[in-house]
Amino acid sequence: MSFQNKLAQMMKLCGLGFGTFSALCIYNEDVKFYKNCLMPFVHLLGPEEAHRFSVIINKYRLLPSSKYVDPDSLKVVAFNRIFKNPIGLAAGYDKNAEAVYGINELGFGFVEVGSVTPLPQLGNEKPRVFRLKDDCAVINRYGFNSDGHEKVLQRMYEIRQNMFDGVIGVNLGKNKMSLDPVGDYVTGILKFGPVADYLVINISSPNTPGLRNMQNKKELYDLLVPVVQAANRVPNRPALLLKLAPDLSYEERKDVADIIMKKECKVDGLIISNTTVSRPDSLSCKKEAMETGGLSGKPLKNMSTQMVADMYKLTNGMPIIGVGGISSGEDAYEKIKAGATVVQIYTAMVYEGPALVTQIKKDLVKLLADDGYRNITEAIGKSK
């Protein structure tokens, strides 16, 4: 056998060996393999291309289902639904409800799709997503790129007709050029109410001009009165949640709490928080940090956790979905003890991959046992 043939044979064997090794690591949900091998390979693609690639992978359910069996200690009853575990996927990943089945099979306790706008829109110009690798963070300015209500609604009905038994939230946004923002949200509620377990009024994205102004006291009141009325008209009314920005001052947080505690404006829960427009001095990726858009990931963790604690106290324990900077069981537990009923992740998976879901759940089980809690709900709001 010639040297060239021997070399080709060796390359084939090495390739086969690495392929087998990779398949076993993926099957066994090996977090280190994802973090150190697979995700750096995926990052050879640009941030938005990698995002789209991963959605396609989950759309066609190309990853093996998680083998981890959620213990009863992680079961949560919230918003009149049973969550098999408290770890959800945040909005912004599966914007158009394309990959719900594949995402659910990764071990999530719930999935939130969207943001969905009434009319299809392309969002902001590219490039609009930037990795801050050394900070385990991302800046995005997608700008509610959406297939629109009709296409997403059709997918949601197909999911329900196929007897999907997981918890699905639908995050609602407004069109960039809308002349009737309140009407956009009312329309979304009436359309998606029958197929969603909960609905989210997203007025906290920094990437749609003027959107965050709807968090101001008067604007928020004028929004929530018709929105709550619309939700009350939906048969088998889904829970109605409000998603807030972490950049609100304490006084602004108090104003929000005052409004949402009014009978005519009362929502069923909060999502805290969206991305931040602030840029902490601790960021290492100075060049990328200069990009406009919302910052997510580890640098957001403490800011969002403090806001969870503030809003939990200001609303006398209103249910909260805590999101922002969670990359471990300890991070998730910290938010739960601050007042979150359940939590969501997203940016951490950009760096650590989908096996992180199972790792967080395993960590939570141990943390609960260490503190003597029989169920995750016993730890809600127990920060000292």
Catalytic residue status for 205: yes
Q: List beta partners, residue 77.
A: 82
pLDDT tens, the chain, 384 aa long: 564 564 455 555 444 444 454 555 675 677 888 888 889 999 999 999 999 999 999 999 999 999 999 999 999 999 999 999 999 999 999 999 999 999 999 999 999 999 999 999 999 999 999 999 999 999 999 999 999 999 999 999 999 999 898 999 999 999 999 999 999 999 999 999 999 999 999 999 998 988 899 989 999 999 999 999 999 999 989 999 999 999 999 999 999 999 999 999 999 999 999 999 999 999 999 999 999 999 999 999 999 999 999 999 999 999 999 999 999 999 999 999 999 999 999 999 999 999 999 999 999 999 999 999 999 999 999 986
Place of tokens 């099979």: 105
Query: Biggest alpha carbon distance in the chain?
Result: 84
Q: List CB contacts of 52: < 8 A, sequence separation 6 or more.
A: none
Out of 54, 115, 146, 205, the active site residue is 205
Q: Domain map of the chain by residue range?
A: 7-33, 43-379
Given the DSSP bridges, would you call strands 198-202 and 167-172 parallel, antiparallel or unpaired? parallel
Q: With left for phi above 0 and alpha for psi between -120 and 50, is residue 205 left, alpha or beta?
A: beta
pTM given for the model: 0.93
Q: Specify the pLDDT at position 288.
A: 95
**Cα-based distances in Å from 111 to 215, 219, 233, 346:** 25, 29, 24, 11
Cα gap 270→268, rounded to integer Å: 7
Which CATH number is correct for 43-379, 2.50.20.10, 3.40.50.300, 3.20.20.70, 1.10.1740.10? 3.20.20.70
Helix 149-161, helix 181-192: angle, nearest 10: 20
* CA-derived radius of gyration, the chain: 21
Q: Specify the pLDDT at position 30.
A: 77
CB contact at 8 A, 358 and 379: no
Cα gap 319→317, rounded to integer Å: 6
Q: List CB contacts of 165: < 8 A, sequence separation 6 or more.
A: none
What number of residues does the chain have? 384
CB contact at 8 A, 243 and 169: no
Q: Specify the pLDDT at position 23.
A: 57
